[in-house]
């Protein structure tokens, strides 16, 4: 019997190319960019591989849905209250750690290296011999030590950084030198040269990095956010940066994305704005996760990376 699989993604063609053939035995793949064809299959596919924003408006029409594999790690689009929860939702966590680590270490190295100042000097043909800083020996605090935080910590240790981790309770990552929990986030922040947030968007993470935590950071410290914009109180961050209470921020995520025109973060000195691209869902990373879960689904086994709708991740 043939199983119908629907793909709804901005990279649908890449997924179809990677998955058609041997990866999904006994399946027929329907690709979301072939829009006329999709409408015919919405009510007939028990399995959907989708970018959350694309599938959300179609949820009511997916009457045969049993399992939805998100191409993203963050699935708040699909766990919001009021949406159906009568299917198994799996996310792509575990696929982004290496990309996030490349982002965080790359941008922190440029901060220490005075990379932006040097880049502007070059455009003026100016030999800028200012002494740069270094990572080695600095202290990185990780707010959230899931698969992403653990990978950032692993690479941080390769550069001989000290690593602190703030978690609810877990202490299982071997790359963290010391853990903090509960009301100890400001105490951890006070010891950090860099504070790196990689939390999902949940009720518990909202504005966890608030005015108190920002004030606890040393004035030479840099905040990095690669999780979700909601973790950081942006108004408090702007206030802290304007007051010189911290030295800079490297931000890939924001409360509103794209970051609105005229927002003060665009032009504050020592703020780096990227565009929610620290860890995109590369089909070559996500397809193997889907193929593995497909095999499990067909065998009646428990899927990997099942989302708890209540917790939101």
Residues with catalytic annotation? 228, 257, 276
User: Quick one: which H or E segment has residue 103?
Assistant: helix 97-112
**Using rule CB under 8 A, residue 35 touches its own copies:** no
Residue 122 vs 242, nearer CB to its own copies: 122
**E strand spans, 128-282:** 139-143, 162-166, 178-180, 194-197, 222-225, 248-251, 271-273
> Least Å distance between CB 273 and its own copies?
5
Binding segment for its own copies among 30-38, 206-214, 232-240, 262-270 (CB under 8 A)? 262-270
Name which of 93 and 111 has its Cβ closer to its own copies.
Answer: 111
State which of residues 17, 266, 295, 306 lies at the interface with its own copies (CB under 8 A): 266
Residues within window 130-159 making contact with its own copies, judged by CB under 8 A: 130-132, 134-136, 154-155, 158-159
Site size for its own copies (CB under 8 A): 47
154 or 206: CB nearest its own copies = 154
Residue 304 makes CB contacts below 8 A (sequence gap 6+) with 90, 289, 292, 293, 296
Give the residue with the Cβ less far from its own copies, 63 or 131: 131
Report long-range pairs for 301-309 (Cβ below 8 Å, ≥24 apart): 303/67, 303/88, 303/90, 304/90, 305/90, 305/91, 305/92, 305/93, 305/94, 306/88, 306/89, 306/90, 307/70, 307/75, 307/78, 307/79, 307/89, 307/90, 307/91, 309/79, 309/85, 309/89
Indicate whether 280 belongs to the interface with its own copies (CB under 8 A). yes
Return the number of the residue (79 or 278) whose C-beta is nearest its own copies.
278
Q: At what angle do helices 12-19 and 283-298 cross, to 10 degrees?
A: 50
Of the pair 186, 280, the CB lying nearest its own copies is at 280
| Tokens representing residue 285 in the block | 């990373």
Instruction: Please identify which residue in 82, 261, 299, 308 interacts with its own copies, judged by CB under 8 A.
Output: 261
List the interface residues with its own copies, window 56-115 (CB under 8 A).
98-99, 101-103, 105-107, 109-110, 112-113, 115
E strand spans, the chain: 3-8, 27-31, 47-50, 67-70, 88-90, 139-143, 162-166, 178-180, 194-197, 222-225, 248-251, 271-273
Q: How far apart are CA 246 and CA 111, in angstroms?
A: 13
Query: Quick check: 310 binds its own copies (CB under 8 A)?
Result: no
Stretch that binds its own copies, among 50-58, 75-83, 129-137, 305-313 (CB under 8 A): 129-137
Binding site for its own copies (CB under 8 A): 98-99, 101-103, 105-107, 109-110, 112-113, 115-116, 118-119, 122, 125, 127-132, 134-136, 154-155, 158-160, 257-259, 261-262, 266-267, 272-277, 280, 282
């Amino acid at each position: 019997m043939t199983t119908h699989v629907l793909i709804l993604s901005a990279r649908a063609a890449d997924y179809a190319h990677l998955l058609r053939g041997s990866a999904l035995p006994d399946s027929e793949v329907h690709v979301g960019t072939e829009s006329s064809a999709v409408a015919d299959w919405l009510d007939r596919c028990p399995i959907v591989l989708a970018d959350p924003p694309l599938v959300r408006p179609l949820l009511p029409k997916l009457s045969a849905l049993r399992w939805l594999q998100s191409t993203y790690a963050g699935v708040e689009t699909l766990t919001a209250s009021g949406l159906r929860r009568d299917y198994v939702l799996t996310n792509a966590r575990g696929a982004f750690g290496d990309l996030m680590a490349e982002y965080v270490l790359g941008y922190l190295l440029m901060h220490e290296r005075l990379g932006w100042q040097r880049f502007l000097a070059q455009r003026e043909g100016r030999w800028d011999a200012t002494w740069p800083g270094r990572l080695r020996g600095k202290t990185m605090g990780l707010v959230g030590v899931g698969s992403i935080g653990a990978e950032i910590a692993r690479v941080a240790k390769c550069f001989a950084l000290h690593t602190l981790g703030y978690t609810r309770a877990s202490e299982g990552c071997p790359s963290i030198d010391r853990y903090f929990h509960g009301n100890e986030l400001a105490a951890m922040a006070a010891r950090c040269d860099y504070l790196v947030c990689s939390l999902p968007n949940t009720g518990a993470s909202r504005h966890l990095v608030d005015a108190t935590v920002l004030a606890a950071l040393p004035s030479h410290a840099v905040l990095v956010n690669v999780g979700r914009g909601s973790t950081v109180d942006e108004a408090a961050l702007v206030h802290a940066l304007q007051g010189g209470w911290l030295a800079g921020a490297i931000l890939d995520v924001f409360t509103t994305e794209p970051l609105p025109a005229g927002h003060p973060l665009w032009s504050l000195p020592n703020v780096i704005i990227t565009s929610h691209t620290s860890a995109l869902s590369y089909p070559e990373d996500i397809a193997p996760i889907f193929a593995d879960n497909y095999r499990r689904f067909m065998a009646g086994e428990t899927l990997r990376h099942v989302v708890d709708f209540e917790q939101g991740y």
